Amino acid sequence: MPHFIIDCSENILNLKPAEEIIREVHDTADATGLFAKGDIKVRINPFNLFTVGNSKDDFIHIIAHIMGGRSSTQKKNLSTQIIKKLKTFFPDVPIISMDVRDIDKTTYSNRKMV
Protein backbone atom coordinates (compact mmCIF):
# COMPACT_ATOMS: atom_id res chain seq x y z
CA MET A 1 0.00 0.00 0.00
CA PRO A 2 -0.44 2.67 -1.44
CA HIS A 3 -1.39 2.14 -5.08
CA PHE A 4 -0.92 4.95 -7.62
CA ILE A 5 -2.72 4.26 -10.89
CA ILE A 6 -1.77 6.57 -13.73
CA ASP A 7 -4.32 6.83 -16.54
CA CYS A 8 -3.06 8.80 -19.54
CA SER A 9 -3.46 9.33 -23.23
CA GLU A 10 -1.25 6.95 -25.19
CA ASN A 11 0.74 9.86 -26.62
CA ILE A 12 2.13 10.62 -23.14
CA LEU A 13 4.40 7.60 -23.60
CA ASN A 14 5.80 9.21 -26.75
CA LEU A 15 6.79 12.23 -24.66
CA LYS A 16 8.48 10.30 -21.81
CA PRO A 17 9.12 6.59 -21.23
CA ALA A 18 6.67 4.86 -18.88
CA GLU A 19 9.50 3.89 -16.55
CA GLU A 20 10.46 7.55 -16.03
CA ILE A 21 6.87 8.57 -15.32
CA ILE A 22 6.46 5.72 -12.84
CA ARG A 23 9.74 6.62 -11.12
CA GLU A 24 8.81 10.32 -10.83
CA VAL A 25 5.43 9.53 -9.26
CA HIS A 26 7.03 6.95 -6.94
CA ASP A 27 9.85 9.24 -5.84
CA THR A 28 7.55 12.21 -5.30
CA ALA A 29 5.16 10.10 -3.21
CA ASP A 30 8.12 8.77 -1.25
CA ALA A 31 9.41 12.31 -0.59
CA THR A 32 6.17 13.19 1.24
CA GLY A 33 7.16 10.83 4.05
CA LEU A 34 3.66 9.38 4.23
CA PHE A 35 4.61 5.86 3.14
CA ALA A 36 7.34 3.27 3.56
CA LYS A 37 9.38 3.26 0.34
CA GLY A 38 8.97 -0.47 -0.21
CA ASP A 39 5.19 -0.17 0.04
CA ILE A 40 4.61 2.31 -2.81
CA LYS A 41 3.14 0.73 -5.95
CA VAL A 42 2.74 2.60 -9.25
CA ARG A 43 1.06 1.42 -12.46
CA ILE A 44 0.35 3.15 -15.76
CA ASN A 45 -2.57 2.63 -18.16
CA PRO A 46 -2.22 4.37 -21.54
CA PHE A 47 -5.45 4.89 -23.49
CA ASN A 48 -5.80 5.29 -27.25
CA LEU A 49 -9.61 5.50 -27.10
CA PHE A 50 -10.84 8.45 -25.04
CA THR A 51 -12.40 11.88 -25.12
CA VAL A 52 -11.57 14.80 -22.86
CA GLY A 53 -14.17 17.54 -23.06
CA ASN A 54 -15.00 16.38 -26.59
CA SER A 55 -11.34 16.61 -27.64
CA LYS A 56 -8.33 14.35 -28.02
CA ASP A 57 -6.05 16.52 -25.86
CA ASP A 58 -3.38 14.64 -23.98
CA PHE A 59 -4.17 13.96 -20.33
CA ILE A 60 -2.77 12.41 -17.18
CA HIS A 61 -5.00 11.45 -14.26
CA ILE A 62 -3.73 9.65 -11.18
CA ILE A 63 -5.88 7.83 -8.67
CA ALA A 64 -4.08 7.16 -5.40
CA HIS A 65 -5.57 4.47 -3.18
CA ILE A 66 -4.11 4.90 0.30
CA MET A 67 -4.88 3.37 3.66
CA GLY A 68 -7.29 5.57 5.61
CA GLY A 69 -6.08 7.65 8.51
CA ARG A 70 -4.19 10.46 6.78
CA SER A 71 -5.47 14.00 7.21
CA SER A 72 -7.01 16.03 4.41
CA THR A 73 -3.96 18.29 4.58
CA GLN A 74 -1.61 15.33 4.08
CA LYS A 75 -3.67 14.05 1.14
CA LYS A 76 -3.83 17.49 -0.44
CA ASN A 77 -0.05 17.87 -0.07
CA LEU A 78 0.45 14.45 -1.70
CA SER A 79 -1.66 15.36 -4.73
CA THR A 80 -0.18 18.87 -4.98
CA GLN A 81 3.41 17.59 -4.92
CA ILE A 82 2.75 14.96 -7.60
CA ILE A 83 0.88 17.42 -9.84
CA LYS A 84 3.70 19.99 -9.47
CA LYS A 85 6.25 17.34 -10.50
CA LEU A 86 4.20 16.24 -13.50
CA LYS A 87 3.66 19.85 -14.62
CA THR A 88 7.44 20.32 -14.82
CA PHE A 89 7.85 16.92 -16.49
CA PHE A 90 5.05 17.63 -19.02
CA PRO A 91 4.81 21.42 -19.49
CA ASP A 92 2.65 21.15 -22.63
CA VAL A 93 0.11 18.58 -21.39
CA PRO A 94 -3.08 20.57 -20.76
CA ILE A 95 -4.84 18.18 -18.38
CA ILE A 96 -3.03 16.79 -15.32
CA SER A 97 -5.11 15.78 -12.31
CA MET A 98 -5.11 13.51 -9.28
CA ASP A 99 -7.59 12.05 -6.82
CA VAL A 100 -6.67 10.53 -3.45
CA ARG A 101 -9.02 7.86 -2.13
CA ASP A 102 -9.03 6.16 1.26
CA ILE A 103 -9.02 2.39 1.53
CA ASP A 104 -11.19 1.07 4.34
CA LYS A 105 -8.89 -0.87 6.69
CA THR A 106 -11.75 -3.03 7.91
CA THR A 107 -12.56 -4.43 4.46
CA TYR A 108 -9.11 -4.45 2.84
CA SER A 109 -7.50 -7.82 2.30
CA ASN A 110 -4.36 -9.08 0.59
CA ARG A 111 -2.49 -12.33 0.08
CA LYS A 112 -0.60 -12.16 3.37
CA MET A 113 -3.78 -11.54 5.32
CA VAL A 114 -5.74 -14.53 4.01
114 residues of the chain, pLDDT tens digit each:
899 999 999 999 999 999 999 999 999 999 999 998 789 999 999 999 999 888 889 999 999 999 988 999 999 999 999 999 999 999 999 999 999 999 988 888 888 888
- Write down all domains in the chain, each with its CATH number in brackets: 3-107 (3.30.429.10)
pTM for the structure as a whole: 0.92
Quick check: 95 and 52 in contact, CB under 8 A? yes
List, in sequence order, every beta strand (DSSP E) within 35-107.
Answer: 41-47, 59-67, 95-103
Cis amide prior to 94 (ω within 30 degrees) = no
Q: Cα separation of 61 and 21, whole Å?
A: 12
Give just the sign of the alpha carbon dihedral 18, 19, 20, 22: positive
